[in-house]
Amino acid sequence: MANANIRAEVIEVSEFPELGDKYNVFGVPKSVINETVEIEGAAPEIMFVQKVLEAVQ
């Protein structure tokens, strides 16, 4: 990562179905930020950044 304050994890839902259930994953990609903000599908960079900012406020 470009910033030490940001951590990311990639989960293979077919290998960890309990996490897919926990986060209601019905399609990929799905991003969950700070357990509060969710992005389903491929998001444009500007939208992703806006969602990250929303999650940290």
**2-47 tens-digit pLDDT:** 888 888 999 999 999 999 999 999 989 999 999 999 999 999 999 9
Question: Based on C-alpha coordinates, what's the Rg of the chain?
Answer: 12
The 3-state DSSP composition of the chain as helix, strand, coil percent (nearest 5) reads 30, 15, 55
The pLDDT, as a whole number, for residue 1 is 63
pLDDT digits (tens, 9 = 90+) for 45-55: 999 999 999 99
The pLDDT, as a whole number, for residue 47 is 96
Q: Global pTM?
A: 0.78
The pLDDT, as a whole number, for residue 37 is 95
How many helices and strands in the chain, by DSSP H and E?
A: 2, 2
